[in-house]
């Protein structure tokens, strides 16, 4: 090491020390140095294990980075006293030891402008009540931990970078403490900052944590921390993970761009957010789990998520308090579930929520005061028995459905308003309860208070104003009302002291459905004759005749005092498009009406778009409305399999199915439901809900039309429109139908009609060229009028012809 000399300079305040000198090794210089001396190191690499056990200062002679400490093994730098190290680069690759070890109660090290670049077990380790200051330092350790504090050690880090560690960037354990200011922690293989064990604390101010493969900050086992003006982003795990009694407080922070949760709390941990923003998260902004776990947010913001999960989850007995917070631009905002779970929100805003702003289920409760919900699918949904809470002074506006109460849920709302609901302001069904006092619903496009299924809801001094359908709509037995008024209900009779609240009717909300009225119940024989006149469909006709026979004989058995067979009149129609399913459904309804099984026999035809809403709760309303419109007749659901898509885990179509199954059970004698679609896809529909297959016990299969049957349909079209087929035309037409590909897009009867329409067009183009066509020429369709057949799949195109 002769090329590297160490100069030991005398401390200006200690002139009694020995004369300054130069040494060939650091070990010699340190042995000769006295407390307070400064060791100035010439540029180069010292392959020594340096131990600072005196209050000395190490600095490079030629500026930061010019001196490296890189021994062959062991700990490159150990500090056990009040030493200072400036501008050195500490290297080394001991897999079982740290690169820098600061240890012991007398160690108060200060490292300034140093760079720890190593592949060791730990970059910098403080232990045994040691204290250290890192200013302007960089720690890189792609083989282990960045900085680890243990056994009561304390660290102050300023303008320091902890980067490229294989495990945690900073680990504070076993009662140690850390204070970081304007530091960066990034590219860690574990947590950015790990806090564990009782008494361990960390305080971060103005720090940035990013590009972390674990959690941004992970606190567990009763450790605690405080973050102020910090940013956590681009983290693979949770932004914050709290477990087993840990506590964190964030003030003025921003947590964003995360594939998992912004914050996840479990097992009695506690989190407080003050003026903090959680945004752009993959699963949820805030997930609070298990009894004793509590989160609190004050003047904070949650927004901008493409997640399929609610932004805030509170479950398994946990608690959350929100004050003056804003939750906006989310798919689902707040979900509270499980008995003992509770959310208290005061003066909070929920806006631009794609689906549900607040959902309460599993016996959970909420307490909302002076909160605002605007531009949401469903404002609040109380889902099941034991779920409820209290809402006071809340405003809900521009939503699909304001408040939904179902399945025994029992919330209390007072002095609340719902304005501008698209479907219903308040919708109670399926044994929901709830009490509404001094509540006002207005300017809705649907119903104000819509209470079905005899739900025993209590309405006291409630008002309904300017709702397009009705202010109050109840089914028997209606809710308990007192002092309620509506501007779209006739005034009360003079002898009644209070205004009437509603007309108890079962009128349904409008539904975009096709309704086919029927004549005044023509005889069954006429409808059966029309059925028999349909081309083909032999097996279908036989199935319908069997059903009619069963119904007729059953009625006669009842008249004779005998038990009638239990019939399930709901049907599944399977087959390709254009095979007559809708026509047969219409005739089936007519026949049932003529036999007295249905009151009217009319057909209401709907598809997925008519039943499934865009928001939670609207689907149940639409399905109920379609069902009510079909009462006394047939509800025909075309392409019903679209309600149960293969990848529809959160698809609202399943809500339509669940609602339909319940309605079919509750009103089994009022409506016949026929579901139709392709054979294979309908099997998926029948397995979507345990009750579906039991409701539809009979499947009628509609076969594709044969070429001869398609020709017969074409003949009937000709006769209806006063055209005629030449003999050669019939043969050519039969050959044309036989040559058509019968893939998923084949239209059967629709195809025959389209062929006829094309022939009429081509006939017109041909005859228009004649100067004075005869009557026969104006009627006769010839082979030249047939459409040009499309190329068969897989056939090569003709040379020189573009297809």
Tokens 């200006």 sit at which residue?
12
* pLDDT digit string, tens, across residues 104-141: 999 999 999 999 999 999 999 999 999 999 999 999 99
Is the confidence at residue 801, as pLDDT, over 70? no
Single out the residue of 501, 602, 595 nearest to residue 548, CA to CA: 595
E strand or H helix at 685, and its extent? Answer: helix 679-686
Residue 240: band (very low, low, confident or very high) from pLDDT cuts 50, 70, 90: very high
Is the confidence at residue 46, as pLDDT, over 80? yes
* Predicted local distance difference test score (pLDDT) of residue 514: 46
**Residues 375, 349 contacting (CB under 8 angstroms):** no
Give the strand pairing for 417-419 and 440-442: parallel
**In 10 A of CB 650, how many CB atoms?**
12
On the question of a common fold for 514-702 and 707-785, the answer reads no
CA distance 255 to 276: 8
* Predicted local distance difference test score (pLDDT) of residue 648: 55
Is the confidence at residue 314, as pLDDT, over 70? yes
Determine the Cα angle at 138 with ends 133 and 140, to 5°: 125
* pLDDT digit string, tens, across residues 608-627: 888 887 666 678 888 888 89
**In 10 A of CB 553, how many CB atoms?**
13
Mean per-residue pLDDT, 631-645:
89
In angstroms, what CA-CA distances link 408 with 38, 217, 379, 380? Answer: 79, 41, 19, 15
Domain positions in the chain are 310-507, 514-702, 707-785
E strand or H helix at 85, and its extent? Answer: strand 84-86
Mean per-residue pLDDT, 28-33:
93
Residue 600: band (very low, low, confident or very high) from pLDDT cuts 50, 70, 90: confident
Mean per-residue pLDDT, 227-233:
98
What's the pTM?
Answer: 0.69
CA distance 316 to 265: 12
Which tokens in the block code for residue 651? 């698809």
Of 123-127, 293-297, 570-574, the range with the lowest mean pLDDT is: 570-574
Mean per-residue pLDDT, 189-210:
97
Of 138-142, 181-185, 657-661, 791-795, the range with the lowest mean pLDDT is: 791-795
CATH of 707-785, one of 3.10.180.10, 3.30.9.10, 3.20.20.70, 1.10.8.60: 1.10.8.60
For residue 138, what are the β-bridge partners? 115, 161
Is the confidence at residue 756, as pLDDT, over 80? yes
CA distance 511 to 272: 47
Give the strand pairing for 208-212 and 231-235: parallel
Give the strand pairing for 6-9 and 38-41: antiparallel
Is the confidence at residue 792, as pLDDT, over 70? no
Mean per-residue pLDDT, 16-41:
81
* Predicted local distance difference test score (pLDDT) of residue 566: 65
Mean per-residue pLDDT, 227-255:
97
Buried b (16+ CB within 10 A) or exposed e, 342-352: bbbbbebbbbe
CA distance 629 to 225: 60
SS3 (DSSP) at 693: helix
- Tell me the CATH architecture of domain 514-702: 3-Layer(aba) Sandwich (3.40)
SS3 (DSSP) at 802: coil
Is the confidence at residue 9, as pLDDT, over 80? no
**Residues 438, 461 contacting (CB under 8 angstroms):** yes
Mutual orientation of helices 618-629 and 653-666 as an angle, nearest 10°? Answer: 40
Mean per-residue pLDDT, 586-605:
87
CA distance 443 to 450: 15
Which tokens in the block code for residue 208? 């940035």
Residue 790: band (very low, low, confident or very high) from pLDDT cuts 50, 70, 90: low
Single out the residue of 241, 271, 286, 237 nearest to residue 257, CA to CA: 237
Tell me, letter by letter, the H, E, C secondary structure of 467-498: CCCEEEEECCCCCEEECCEECCCCCCCCCCCC
């Amino acid at each position: 090491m002769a090329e590297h000399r160490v100069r030991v300079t005398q401390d200006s305040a200690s002139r009694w020390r020995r004369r300054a000198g130069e040494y060939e090794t650091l070990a010699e210089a340190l042995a000769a140095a006295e407390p307070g001396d400064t060791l100035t190191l010439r540029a180069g690499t010292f392959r020594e294990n340096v131990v600072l056990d005196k209050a000395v200062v190490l600095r490079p002679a030629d500026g930061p980075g010019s001196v490296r400490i890189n021994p062959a093994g062991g700990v490159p730098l150990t500090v056990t006293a009040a030493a200072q190290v400036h501008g050195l680069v500490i290297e080394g690759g001991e897999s079982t030891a740290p690169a820098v070890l600061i240890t012991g109660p007398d160690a108060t090290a200060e490292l300034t402008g140093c760079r720890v670049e190593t592949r060791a077990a730990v970059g910098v380790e403080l232990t045994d009540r040691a204290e250290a200051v890192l200013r302007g330092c960089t720690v890189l350790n792609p083989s282990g931990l960045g900085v680890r504090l243990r056994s009561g050690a304390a660290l102050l880090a300023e303008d320091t970078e902890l980067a490229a560690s294989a495990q945690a960037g900073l680990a504070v354990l076993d009662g140690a403490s850390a204070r970081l200011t304007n530091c960066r922690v990034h590219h860690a293989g574990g947590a950015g900052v790990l806090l564990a064990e009782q008494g361990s604390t960390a305080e971060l101010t103005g720090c940035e944590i990013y590009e972390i493969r674990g959690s941004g900050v992970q606190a567990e086992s009763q450790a605690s921390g405080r973050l102020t003006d910090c940013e956590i982003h681009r983290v693979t795990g949770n932004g914050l993970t709290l477990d087993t009694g840990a506590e964190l407080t964030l003030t003025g922070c921003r947590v964003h761009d995360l594939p998992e949760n912004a914050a996840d709390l479990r097992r009695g941990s506690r989190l407080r957010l003050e003026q903090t923003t959680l945004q752009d998260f993959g699963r949820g902004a805030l997930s609070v789990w298990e009894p004793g776990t509590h989160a609190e947010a004050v003047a904070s913001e949650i927004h901008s998520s493409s997640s399929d999960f609610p932004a805030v989850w509170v479950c398994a007995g946990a608690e959350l308090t929100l004050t003056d917070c804003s939750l906006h631009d989310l798919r689902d905002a707040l979900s509270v579930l499980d008995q003992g779970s509770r959310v208290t929100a005061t003066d909070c805003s929920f806006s631009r929520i794609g689906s549900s702003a607040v959902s309460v289920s599993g016996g959970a409760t909420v307490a909302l005061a002076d909160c605002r919900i605007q531009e949401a699918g469903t404002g609040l949904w109380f889902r099941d028995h034991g779920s409820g809470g209290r809402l006071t002074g809340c405003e809900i506006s521009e939503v699909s459905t304001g408040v939904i109460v179902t399945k025994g849920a029992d919330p209390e709302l007072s002095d609340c308003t719902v304005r501008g609901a698209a479907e219903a302001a308040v919708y109670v069904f399926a044994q929901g309860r709830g009490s509404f006092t001094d509540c006002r619903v207005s300017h809705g496009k649907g119903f104000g208070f819509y209470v079905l299924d005899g739900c025993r809801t209590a309405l006291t001094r409630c008002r309904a104003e300017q709702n397009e359908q009705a202010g109050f709509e109840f089914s028997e037995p209606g809710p308990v009302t007192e002092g309620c008024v509506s501007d779209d209900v006739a005034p009360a009779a003079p002898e009644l002291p209070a205004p009437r609240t509603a007309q108890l009717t079962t009128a349904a909300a409008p539904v975009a459905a096709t309704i086919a009225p029927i004549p005044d119940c023509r005889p069954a024989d006429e409808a059966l004759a029309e059925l028999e006149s349909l081309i083909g469909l032999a097996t279908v006709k036989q199935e319908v005749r069997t059903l009619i026979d069963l119904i007729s004989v059953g009625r006669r058995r009842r008249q004779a005092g005998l038990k009638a067979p239990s019939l399930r009149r709901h049907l599944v129609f399977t087959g390709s498009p254009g095979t007559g399913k809708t026509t047969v459904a219409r005739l089936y309804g007519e026949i049932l009406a003529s036999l007295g099984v249905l009151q009217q026999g009319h057909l209401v035809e709907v598809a997925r778009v008519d039943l499934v809403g865009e928001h939670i709760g609207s689907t149940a309303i639409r399905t109920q409305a379609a069902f009510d419109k079909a009462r006394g007749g047939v509800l025909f659901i075309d392409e019903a399999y679209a309600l149960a898509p293969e990848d529809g885990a959160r698809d609202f179509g399943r809500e339509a199915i669940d609602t339909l199954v319940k309605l079919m059970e509750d009103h089994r004698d009022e409506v016949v439901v026929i579901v139709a679609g392709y054979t294979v896809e309908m099997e998926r529909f029948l397995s979507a809900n345990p009750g579906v297959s039991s409701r539809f016990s009979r499947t009628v299969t509609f076969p594709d039309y044969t070429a001869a049957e398609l020709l017969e349909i074409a003949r009937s079209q000709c006769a209806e429109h006063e055209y005629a087929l030449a003999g050669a035309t019939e043969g050519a037409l039969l050959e044309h139908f036989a040559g058509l590909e019968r893939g998923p897009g084949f239209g059967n009867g629709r195809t025959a009609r389209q062929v006829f329409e094309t022939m009429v067009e081509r006939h017109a183009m041909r005859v228009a060229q004649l100067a004075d066509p005869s009557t026969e020429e104006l009627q006769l369709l010839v082979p030249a009028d047939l459409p040009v057949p499309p190329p068969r799949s897989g056939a090569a195109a003709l040379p020189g012809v573009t297809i």
